[in-house]
Structure 1
């Protein structure tokens, strides 16, 4: 590694530090938890000897991607490459692959956390999910009721459920063939395939059944 290239890397690091008000390596070290020894490696083009975790801390502090750090401070970018340039390039590529693997792992963890969050949120919304469609149906049948004015207020909630992949199992008032897998009788009896009327909407979350729709046989006097 030539002295000129080391000076060039030092200048590049300082250019990244200045807009973020880092006036010394000691200050940057304190902010990131990365030792000043690691900064010396960075300025010498020895980024391949640094851990991915260290690069992640630096990328966050300097507000650049890990890929940009690798491209900027690798000895591959030197105009005077060392004789071991091939080995250095392999090390940098291994670092890049490890970073990509960790990024994918983080993405998978975020997906898992999001699904858990959605499931817990749906449990909180259970009473609204079950009761609201029935209240909305009643208001729509008699638009003189003041409750009809509340209908637009819940559209954001409905949109949120749609974005989460929550689907209603039939609409309130619909007459559908009874399916015990998706329907729960509120009263009376019914055989699979017999017509029933939906009293409370059920829901599916993607491929998972959340709540069965509550239904009543058409022959029940309360449904006439």
Structure 2
């Protein structure tokens, strides 16, 4: 039994009765019989509760009315913390252990609220950082394209005209066109893209850096480089294409 409660007046009884009805309505408990079934209260305890004599009930009975026990989910009743329930009924038990539990409950609620706020803050920060990263990637991509275009601008501007000149004048010496490719050579140097071999150079076949035109070329066999390859900081970007013969020389 909850000790230390004062004599209950009629207005207090009425407020307690209305409070119970409101909590029952919120939890879809249609009548007092349903409340009794959910809480497992005796008929006598239920009548004392209805008559405003909640102070005469035991702490266990009040706990079953306010909130189910942890391991008896089928006894869910009014779904209100016990401390709040007792405060609303005007019951102030002097039980020190109950007061400690109530304070602990309030502290846990505050900690949970703070954790939820921190979680929401982290979520917003994550979305903001993701958006900023996407924006930075876009800006870097645009800057890279702009910088590359500027380095190749001369070649890109001249190439269509060179293509047209070759079609109109196929006899035009190729050496007159080689200077147009200087920007491309400069860009490869700036990126530190190193050529593998030289065109028509004779070298020993190395399967690590060469791509043969036939599958029967043995390692260290002498071959000619038909098309150079490229490497960057020790990584092979594309191997040099090699053959036993030079173009036009036959096989």
TM-score normalised by the chain length of structure 1: 0.34
Larger Rg: 2
TM-score normalised by the chain length of structure 2: 0.31
